[in-house]
Amino acid sequence: MTPIKLNADWLLPIIQSALAEDIGSGDKTTFALIPPHHQTTAYLVAKQDFVLAGLDVARRTFLEVNKNLVWHSDFLDGATISNGEVLASIEGEAGSILTAERVALNFLQLMSGIATQTREYVAKIAHTKVKLLDTRKTIPNLRLLSKYAASIGGAQNHRLRLDDAILIKDNHIALVGSMKEAIHRAKLHADGLPIIIECDTLEQVEQALQPNISRLLLDNMTPDQLRIAVKLVHGRIPLEASGGITLENIASIAETGVEYISVGKLTHSAKAVDISLDI
């Protein structure tokens, strides 16, 4: 897939929905304490080392609350940030800055957390030619942001939606009755889409070795099983290892000879990084 790029057409509704969720009928505390039009300058400050992702999402969040705020930053997504660095400054009406603060930080901290964790996984397999993939295991309504952040960390984007590819999994096969019949139906309706087949066993790998199959997804196989699958397939179809992948075992998985490794943890278990807004 082409890496996801931040696009105002789909990004703005996400930001507006998040702000509506957070603000409700108004920021009562700021309204009570801060005089209207009080001016200030606030700074986004890193409280740890991390890989930056989502900076423009944060910028757009502040400007959505007040288009007259002045934003300045010398950084771009993908930068390696050190503890104590100032990521950006926001100048203007203090009330608007405080109202936008939490939503902007939520986006920035989560996206940077995904990018940071992804970069760690990529580093573990840098000595191989294996490509790291994300998955659809994302927070609902935040998939585009999560996958963008994963790409900033160095992963390639897997399926964005169910209409991006035909991916035959164990439940599909159970309902259809056999691998052979599932593949037959998939080819009839593929209409140019890639066909990917999830294989739980080496027997299924043999069954899936058919023309016009784009990739085999080897689910929860041991390194020994993966090596056997690599020899069995002998380069005829790209192989993707998935399931149970951790920072501790990803290198040994990559060294089996598979072409891809997909990791759900990149997006569903990333820890938000620590960033503060200081006035």
Whether 5 is a known active-site residue: answer: no
Is residue 277 packed enough to be buried (19+ CB in 10 Å), middle (13-18) or exposed (0-12)?
Answer: buried
Q: Where are the alpha helices (DSSP H) in the chain?
A: 8-23, 28-33, 55-65, 94-124, 143-152, 170-176, 179-189, 202-208, 223-233, 250-254, 265-268
Active-site position among 22, 120, 137, 164: 137
Whether 219 is a known active-site residue: answer: yes
Active-site position among 64, 198, 240, 259: 198
Active-site position among 27, 219, 240, 259: 219
Active-site position among 143, 169, 187, 227: 169
CA distances (Å), origin 193, targets 2, 4, 122, 204:
15, 19, 28, 21
Residue 266 · residue 117 · CB < 8 Å: yes
Please state whether beta strands 260-262 and 239-242 pair in parallel, antiparallel, or not at all (unpaired).
Answer: parallel
Whether 59 is a known active-site residue: answer: no
Whether 198 is a known active-site residue: answer: yes
Residue 213 · residue 204 · CB < 8 Å: no
Is residue 255 packed enough to be buried (19+ CB in 10 Å), middle (13-18) or exposed (0-12)?
Answer: middle
Whether 240 is a known active-site residue: answer: no
Active-site position among 85, 91, 102, 200: 102
**Catalytic positions, written as ranges:** 102, 137, 169, 198, 219
